[in-house]
């Protein structure tokens, strides 16, 4: 939502300032210039990237417009899910959750958390790690190394569409110049004609440069930066799961492991201990107890 508001604000500010200086909005409406810039940018994107990167860029842009899914509620639900899961392991042993990690979509625990099941990166990260723990013979240090390697691979893949979109953003000012040069070529061919006609063609050429710079710094560049922050939020979520699972594998009680995971959550979305305990154990919060 904020991404949409930001883009709208960019255009309103630019066009509003232009109109305040008695500019004519019709001058900025140059479909041919926009076609040159947008078409060339799309072509460079297709030429430079395989199909799966293109799909990830489209998915990333949709995710930017929706907003980050990794808010406080998502973290609280994950902590509660892992608390229930680790409690089952403590009471019944690792073999009791073998089917949960083999077929998470059929797990009675995971079924209550559709956001987790829909996030195949996080789901596979948890289930693959616990599958190795069930198999046995893997030291916690080696498990940590495997999780770290998994996170590095995921981070590299998540940044590929971001880097591709950033490349397009960097190319837009140059493509704007290409459109402007073509406009100048057309203008030179009209020399000797009416001054009004030449003026319109020069204005159209300058609009090409304007559009290239505006789309770079006002639209595509900020969207790319937002996608990078979303990828970083996903990595922070996996880091929380890594800390939590590793703590349990080292012998910590479920609540201690959950608290270790809570401490790894970014501060702006980190729930308090009371909120976590209330969520995990379905107890009233300290504020509710005081009110009672």
How does DSSP classify residue 216?
I
Instruction: Indicate the range of 17-21, 95-99, 170-174, 186-190 predicted with least confidence.
Output: 186-190
Residue 226 lies in a domain: yes
User: Is residue 3 included in any domain, yes or no?
Assistant: no
- Reported confidence tier of residue 279, pLDDT bands at 50, 70, 90: confident
* Count of structural domains, the chain: 1
pLDDT digits (tens, 9 = 90+) for 12-40: 999 999 899 888 888 888 888 999 999 99
User: In which band, very low, low, confident or very high, does the pLDDT at 136 lie, cut at 50, 70 and 90?
Assistant: confident
Domain that holds residue 49: 30-282
Residue among 227, 217, 232, 233 nearest 164 (CA): 227
Q: What is the pTM of this model?
A: 0.85
What mean pLDDT is predicted for residues 146-172? 94
As a whole-number percent, the residues of the chain with pLDDT over 70 amount to: 96
Q: What is the pLDDT of residue 188?
A: 83
| Residue 281 confidence class, pLDDT cut points 50, 70, 90 | confident
Is 289 part of any domain? no
Lowest mean pLDDT among 52-56, 179-183, 233-237: 179-183
- Structural domain includes residue 6: no
204 or 82: whose pLDDT is higher? Answer: 82
Q: How many CB atoms lie within 10 A of CB 262?
A: 21
Q: Is 37 exposed, middle or buried (0-12, 13-18, 19+ CB in 10 A)?
A: buried
Within a domain: 101? yes
The C-alpha atoms of residue 3 and residue 158 are separated, in whole angstroms, by: 19
Q: Which residues contact 238 (CB under 8 A, 6 or more apart)?
A: 121, 122, 125, 150, 151, 154
Q: Specify if 223 maps to a domain.
A: yes
Mean pLDDT of 258-276: 93
In the 8-state DSSP scheme, what is residue 267?
Answer: G
In a domain, 268, yes or no: yes
In a domain, 2, yes or no: no
Confidence of residue 288 (pLDDT cuts 50, 70, 90): very low
Identify each DSSP E strand in the chain by its residue range: none
């Amino acid at each position: 939502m904020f991404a949409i508001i930001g883009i709208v604000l960019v255009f309103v500010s630019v066009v509003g300032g232009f109109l305040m200086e008695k500019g004519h909005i019709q001058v900025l409406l140059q479909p041919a210039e926009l076609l040159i810039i947008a078409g060339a940018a799309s072509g460079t994107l297709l030429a430079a990237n395989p199909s799966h990167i293109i799909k990830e860029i489209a998915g990333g842009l949709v995710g930017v417009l929706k907003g980050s899914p990794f808010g406080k509620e998502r973290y609280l639900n994950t902590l509660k899910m892992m608390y229930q899961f680790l409690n089952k392991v403590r009471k019944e042993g690792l073999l009791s959750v073998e089917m949960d990690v083999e077929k998470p979509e059929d797990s009675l625990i995971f079924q209550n958390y559709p956001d987790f099941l829909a996030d195949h990166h996080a789901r596979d990260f948890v289930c693959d790690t616990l599958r190795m723990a069930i198999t046995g013979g893997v030291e916690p240090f080696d498990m940590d190394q495997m999780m770290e390697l998994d996170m590095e691979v995921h981070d590299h893949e998540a940044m590929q569409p971001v880097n591709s979109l950033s490349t397009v953003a960097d190319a837009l000012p140059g493509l704007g110049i290409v459109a402007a040069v073509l406009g100048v070529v057309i203008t030179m061919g009209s020399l000797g004609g009416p001054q009004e006609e030449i003026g319109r063609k020069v204005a159209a050429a300058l609009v090409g440069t304007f559009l290239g710079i505006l789309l770079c710094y006002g639209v595509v560049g900020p969207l790319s930066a937002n996608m990078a922050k979303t990828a970083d939020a996903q990595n922070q979520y996996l880091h929380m799961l890594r800390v939590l699972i590793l703590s349990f594998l080292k012998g910590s009680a479920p609540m201690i492991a959950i608290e270790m995971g809570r401490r790894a959550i970014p501060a702006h979305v980190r729930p308090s201990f009371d909120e976590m305990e209330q969520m995990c154990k379905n107890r009233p919060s300290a504020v509710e107890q005081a009110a009672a």
